[in-house]
């Protein structure tokens, strides 16, 4: 089964830009271990500035400079760290390798004790780069990108939010409930899944639109082609909040619209050649267990 859309590999693998999980007191000992392994394979490590401060190093680089100097990026942490770095590095189009110190590990599939074996294969071009769709959104004349999802939610704890949905400027639905999730296929196993949205194969290009606690049973999750331009207008009397990848927030005031389309470029994730997405789903979601 062909599971990659574009497996163009790195031209150079000599310099790795490393970003550490923020505010993790135990991260230093993990970093020292992986640093030795990278050096063993003659791969130079550059540390991001904030990461360097965390471990009392003095040779950190600002993120922009790190991206320009590195052949690829490495995150040490969990899926959240990788998502953050992927968004920040989007315009530099750097491939990202995730080393997993987290619990779930949908995206970061290389464990610290597997790194040495992986790098042996990596330097022989025995690896793959997955190209994952990202979302580009415009709100209040500001353009933002999302890797997992964009959530439009009520700002207050009480009441509901009302949104009109448009495809290519033509209304297609009216949403009334706690909010709405607009997800990429990669993000389909995140918040979308907890709201009973569908799991979509991550190398697909599609939007998943999933209501959050919809007021009407007629409002169901919807999968749309990625070449559609979709938008949502806040027709409520109260402000809504837009949350990007569970992190950045923006206000969506009454009668304001958020416009969404597929981003011009894709995220690039470095994975083991033998990684099988459906095995990951089975292991993480305990499929087949009783």
Choose the catalytic residue: 79, 109, 130, 245. 79
pLDDT tens digits, one per residue of 15-37: 999 999 998 888 999 999 999 99
**Whether the predicted pLDDT of 223 surpasses 70:** yes
User: Do 142 and 238 fall into the same domain?
Assistant: yes
User: Do 177 and 272 fall into the same domain?
Assistant: no
User: Do 247 and 167 fall into the same domain?
Assistant: yes
User: Do 278 and 202 fall into the same domain?
Assistant: no
Name beta bridge partners: 173: 165
2 belongs to a structural domain: no
User: Do 29 and 49 fall into the same domain?
Assistant: yes
Run of H or E residues at 165 = strand 161-167
Question: How many Å apart are CA 245 and CA 253, to the nearest integer?
Answer: 20
Q: Using CA of residue 65, residue 71, residue 75, residue 80, what is the dihedral sign?
A: positive
CATH number reported for the structural domain that contains residue 49 in this entry: 3.40.50.10330
19 belongs to a structural domain: yes
User: Do 236 and 152 fall into the same domain?
Assistant: yes
8 belongs to a structural domain: no
Task: Concatenate the DSSP letters of all residues of 94-153 into one string.
Answer: --EEEEE-SS--SS--B-GGGHHHHHHHHTTT--EEEEE--EEEEETTEEEEESSEEEEE
Whether pTM > 0.85 for this model: the answer is yes
User: Do 139 and 255 fall into the same domain?
Assistant: yes
84 belongs to a structural domain: yes
What is the mean predicted confidence (pLDDT) over 197-212?
A: 96
CATH number reported for the structural domain that contains residue 258 in this entry: 2.60.200.30
User: Do 147 and 129 fall into the same domain?
Assistant: no
66 belongs to a structural domain: yes
User: Do 162 and 188 fall into the same domain?
Assistant: yes
pLDDT tens digits, one per residue of 247-266: 999 999 999 999 999 999 99
User: Do 77 and 49 fall into the same domain?
Assistant: yes
79 labelled catalytic: yes
**Whether the predicted pLDDT of 271 surpasses 80:** yes
223 belongs to a structural domain: yes
Total number of domains constituting the chain: 2
Q: What is the DSSP letter of 90?
A: G
User: Do 153 and 194 fall into the same domain?
Assistant: yes
User: Do 31 and 99 fall into the same domain?
Assistant: yes
Range of the domain at 92: 15-133+266-285
pLDDT tens digits, one per residue of 36-83: 999 999 999 999 999 999 999 989 999 999 999 999 999 999 999 999
What percent of the chain lies above the pLDDT cut of 70?
A: 96
């Amino acid at each position: 089964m062909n599971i990659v859309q574009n497996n163009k590999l790195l031209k150079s693998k000599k310099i790795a830009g490393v970003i550490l999980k923020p505010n993790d007191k135990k991260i230093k000992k993990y970093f020292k271990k992986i640093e030795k392994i990278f050096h063993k394979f003659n791969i130079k490590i550059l540390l991001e500035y904030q990461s360097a401060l965390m471990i009392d190093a003095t040779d950190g680089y600002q993120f922009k400079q790190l991206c320009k100097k590195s052949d690829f990026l490495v995150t040490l942490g969990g899926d959240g760290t990788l998502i953050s770095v992927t968004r920040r590095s989007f315009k530099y189009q750097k491939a990202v390798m995730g080393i997993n110190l987290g619990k779930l590990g949908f995206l970061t599939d290389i464990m610290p004790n597997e790194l040495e074996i992986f790098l042996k294969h990596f330097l022989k071009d025995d690896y793959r780069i997955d190209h994952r769709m990202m979302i580009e959104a415009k709100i209040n004349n500001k353009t933002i990108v999302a890797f997992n999802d964009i959530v439009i939610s009520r700002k207050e704890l009480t009441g509901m939010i009302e949104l009109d949905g448009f495809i290519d400027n033509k209304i297609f639905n009216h949403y009334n409930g706690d909010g709405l999730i607009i997800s990429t296929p990669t993000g389909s196993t995140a918040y979308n899944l907890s709201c009973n949205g569908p799991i979509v194969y991550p190398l697909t290009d599609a939007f998943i639109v999933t209501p959050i606690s919809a007021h009407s049973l007629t409002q169901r999750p919807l999968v749309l082609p990625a070449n559609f331009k979709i938008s949502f207008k806040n027709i409520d009397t109260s402000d809504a909040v837009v949350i990007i990848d569970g992190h950045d927030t923006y206000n969506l005031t009454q009668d304001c619209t958020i416009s969404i389309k597929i981003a011009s470029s894709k995220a690039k994730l470095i994975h083991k050649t033998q990684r099988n997405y459906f095995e990951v789903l089975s292991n993480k979601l305990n499929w087949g267990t009783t």
